[in-house]
Amino acid sequence: MGSFDGKVIIVTGAAWGIGRDTALEFAREGARVVIADVDKAAGKTVESQLQDLGPGGLFVDADVSKAEASRRVVSETVAAFGAVDVLFNNVGIQPAGSYHNVEDTPEETWDRILDINLKSYYLMAKYAIPEIRKRGGGAIINTASVQGLQSQKLVPAYAASKGGILSLTRQMSLDYAAENIRVLAVNPGAIDTKMLRTSAEQAEGNTDELIASWGKGHPLGRIGTGQDIANVVVFLASERASFMTGSYVNVDGGYMAVGAWGSAGSPDSEG
């Protein structure tokens, strides 16, 4: 018997990386899991894995930066599984080739990053909360970033979106605490995801060697894995974290303890 038997979970940005690994971990704990993503092929693969692991899995092809798509993810979840207990807002982007200062950041790039990384969290919460309320409470977990606390150069939109997620997390926790809806965030450091590897491929040299060198900038001596984040998210969504809301957890290999984080030189990566 898993700790999420009978529970229904929505995970956005779950075709790859942190979202995929967390969706699979929820399934191992007995949850029925709905994943939303724009990558149809990868999403269907994860859907099959969810169905093999747990009592039910569903992929919804949706760009959750759009209101109608977010509403549809929730409605299809309820149609398939009857409820929503936990929302894991995880989708996020930092497109290759979009590392610029504010002056050189195109407006359309700024808008796209903010729409996906921040607006989608508002939209998914907007439509999921009424269903969570019907269950007598639940949890919303948001993927923020160490870059919501400190930042590297040339990522103004990304950094703004992650800082916004942390502020939104605090604010929503106050509005919904009385209804037993807890709202929390995780701040990943450098995580071995498709996004991080894409960043590494843009640089000179061997990709694996570069990623290993980034890992050495962490006090624990390595970059993280999607499973590292999944373990924390599943805990935060569980009854074991029932007295936690409005706060964040750094899952960063000690990055934020270092202080002079820019010297490590490695980007974080969600997805």
**Residue from 158, 176, 248, 255 carrying the catalytic annotation:** 158
DSSP string, 126-172: HHHHHHHHHTT-EEEEEE--GGGTS--TT-HHHHHHHHHHHHHHHHH
Closest among 67, 87, 108 to 233, alpha carbons compared:
87
Classify 14 as helix, strand or coil. Answer: coil
Distance, CA of 13 to CA of 225 (rounded, Å) = 16
Cβ neighbourhood burial of 18 (10 Å; 0-12, 13-18, 19+): buried
The answer to whether 188 and 10 are in contact (CB under 8 A) is: no
β-strands 57-61, 248-251 pairing: unpaired
Mention every residue, 6+ apart, whose C-beta is less than 8 A from residue 63: 38, 69, 116
Q: Tokens in use for 55?
A: 């009592």
127 is catalytic: no
Do residues 22 and 48 make contact, with C-beta atoms less than 8 angstroms apart?
Answer: no
Q: At what angle do helices 207-215 and 194-202 cross, to 10 degrees?
A: 110
* Distance in angstroms (rounded) separating the CA atoms of residues 204 and 226: 25
DSSP 27-39: HHTT-EEEEEES-
- Known catalytic residues? 158
